[in-house]
């Protein structure tokens, strides 16, 4: 399997459990890796045969901007579901970074993998 990736996709959203987090948008950063087979697109040189990372990014941005989850775990799981279900991706790895969430730390977040790379 080949990998199409999106790195450091920054999106402002309501996320968190504390009262102040429910009142202000915070910026999250996403690194997304998606399994695909690029051979058909490489042979045809046609975007309809490729995993269109621009379409994936636009869909995820729209979803995250409208979301108001408390937990990064919930948000990340929903993002994985959208990518796999709507873009026919068999495996996805997502790293969600929530800068500033932990005093004294540069950043904090989670990494999940869903599906099968085979």
What gap in Å lies between CA 11 and CA 47, rounded to an integer? Answer: 25
What is the predicted pLDDT for the residue at 54? 97
pLDDT tens string for the chain (118 positions)?
999 999 999 999 999 998 988 999 999 999 999 999 999 999 999 999 999 999 999 999 999 999 999 999 999 999 999 999 999 999 999 999 998 766 777 788 999 999 997 7
What gap in Å lies between CA 39 and CA 49, rounded to an integer? Answer: 9
Would you list the domain boundaries of the chain?
2-115
- Tell which CATH classification among 2.40.50.140, 3.30.70.3040, 3.30.1130.10, 3.40.50.300 matches the domain 2-115: 3.30.1130.10
Which residue in the list 25, 58, 98, 99 is annotated as catalytic? 98
Q: Strand, coil or helix: what is 64?
A: helix
What gap in Å lies between CA 16 and CA 45, rounded to an integer? Answer: 43
Q: What angle do CA 47, 48, 52 make, to 5 degrees?
A: 60
Active site residue 25: no
Cα atoms found within 13 Å of the Cα of residue 110, Cβ hemisphere only: 11
């Amino acid at each position: 399997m080949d990998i199409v990736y999106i790195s450091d996709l920054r999106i402002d959203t309501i996320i968190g459990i504390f009262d102040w987090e429910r009142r202000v948008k915070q910026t999250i950063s996403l690194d997304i890796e998606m399994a695909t087979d690029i051979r058909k697109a490489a042979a045809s040189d046609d975007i309809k045969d490729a995993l269109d990372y621009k379409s994936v990014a636009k869909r995820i941005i729209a979803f995250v901007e409208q979301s108001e989850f408390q937990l990064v775990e919930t948000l990340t799981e929903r993002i994985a579901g959208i990518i796999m279900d709507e873009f026919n991706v068999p495996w996805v790895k997502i790293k969600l970074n929530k800068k500033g969430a932990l005093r004294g730390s540069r950043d904090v977040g989670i990494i999940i993998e869903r599906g099968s790379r085979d």
